Structure 1
Amino acid sequence: MMSELDRTEHEDERIVRALEEDIIFGRLAPGTRLTEDSLLSRFPVTRHFVRQALVQLEQMGVVVRERNKGATVRSLTADEVRQIYAVRELVQRQAALLIPLPARQSLIDELLAIHKEHGEHIESGYLRGVHETNDRFHLTLFGACGNKYLVQTIELYMRFSLPVRANSMSDRSALDIAHSQHALMIEMLKGRDNWVLAQLCVDHLQPSKKRYIELVET
């Protein structure tokens, strides 16, 4: 039988997962207000569960909560995007430079398996799978740098940039380009040139950044 604590965690997770999907896949646009009453009408839970879910979403970086204003889907200005991506470029370049090359075969095999799954999700149109395998690919890749604090920073700024990355999820050509760049990263791991790998990791960030900035500046 499910304990009260387990039930609480299950309900929180269900709400967070549903709202995260709505945000990632564009069903809730940046700036959309998330009132407790509207969420209570959608989910048959107590106000406590809704508030806990909003706290988790804020920690993930996809929701902003302000006193006397409530919660809104996180939106970013063009300047905020440039600043976030300046940090992403720095930390991802540094992580790539620290990966021992040629990489061990076990890492290459693991990335190939994730890459295959990522491609299958693109083909089937399963966007949650695309999102999750994309993040797993990058965290596995950069995890090879051997600096857990650097990887934690990368993961944090991946969360900060989620509105930017989510904007490209519905663009099949953008997904195909990202997928092909993942394949190139794996090939670079077989060589000895960390600088080429690092530049590829930085170039990989540019299309979604450019697309989002163009959207908010028009």
Structure 2
Amino acid sequence: MLNRAELGKEADVVRALEEDIIFGRLAPGTRLVEDVLLARFPVSRHAIRQALYQLERLGIVTRERNKGATVRRLAPDEVLQIYAVREMLQRQAALMIPLPAPASLIDELTELDRVHGEHVENGSLRGIHEANDRFHLALFSACGNKYLVESIEHYMELSLPVRAKSLADREQLEISRRHHRMMIEALAGRDSWVLAQLCVDHLQPSKQLYLEGIGRAGET
């Protein structure tokens, strides 16, 4: 059992490794060796193992018996299957949001979009990532079904390696910002299908960017 201080250190390890993985400093397939991590982080071996367990739960690390932990590498069919589920979940959640949405939701999303834009301008990858997730979870929470929202959040986590590739791509970020504004506009209207399609279309650029990267890697 970890004490409070160890739990805090474990969280620091998870955050640091998560950033290294999703922002490309640790490439897919990289082994995460406990002794190397112990040399980097002043924590116990148990805390390191718990951190790796948490990263496995996030879907960005895989652990195999007698092989240890590695940064997860998603195959093309895995990407397509994960995104097929994300599309179904997000479309359904969008269709369940009562329109026109209340001004409080539109104001909240407008502010989150502003914060997201500031992080884009400042080049803060962590800020972009966190503001983007807050925007989408606030949006889908309006569907009123917490279990559906939890499922969406789970698949957002599974797709972290895919989504992260677009964080440093300015063209992709501009597309994302434009989609956010279009979603906010749709919330003020009455056409749920328009909103639902926007939520599905929003997933495509990062998915395609990742799949193209896999294709180029396979050609080398």
- Which range, TM-score by smaller chain? over 0.9
Structure 2 gap ranges (5+): none
**1:38 partner letter:** V
Secondary structure in structure 1 of the residue aligned to 2:62:
strand
Counterpart contact for 2:95–2:192, Cα < 8 Å = yes
User: Match of 1:59?
Assistant: 57
Residue 140 (structure 1) aligned with residue 162 (structure 2): no
User: Match of 2:124?
Assistant: 126
- The residue correspondences of 1:1-218 to structure 2 (distance < 5 A) are 5-218=3-216
CA distance in 1, matches of 2:203, 2:8: 34
Counterpart contact for 2:61–2:69, Cα < 8 Å = yes
**1:33 partner letter:** R
| Shift of residue 42, structure 1, vs aligned partner | 0.7
Q: CA RMSD in A?
A: 0.9
Equivalent pairs counted in the alignment come to: 215
**2:11 partner letter:** E
Structure 1 gap ranges (5+): none
Secondary structure in structure 1 of the residue aligned to 2:194:
helix
CA distance in 2, matches of 1:121, 1:93: 27
**1:78 partner letter:** P
Spell out, residue by residue over 1:21-77, the C-alpha distance to the aligned partner (whole angstroms, 9 max, x if none): 101111011111101011011112211111111011111111111111100111100
Spell out, residue by residue over 1:57-99, the C-alpha distance to the aligned partner (whole angstroms, 9 max, x if none): 1111111111111001111000100000000000000000000
**1:35 partner letter:** V
CA distance in 2, matches of 1:31, 1:169: 20
TM-score (norm 1): 0.97
CA distance in 1, matches of 2:213, 2:194: 30
Counterpart contact for 2:89–2:151, Cα < 8 Å = yes
| Shift of residue 211, structure 1, vs aligned partner | 1.0
TM-score (norm 2): 0.96
| Shift of residue 5, structure 1, vs aligned partner | 2.0
How high is the sequence identity, in percent, across the aligned residues?
67
Query: Runs of 4+ in structure 1 displaced over 4 angstroms?
Result: none
| Shift of residue 198, structure 1, vs aligned partner | 0.3
CA distance in 2, matches of 1:45, 1:191: 52
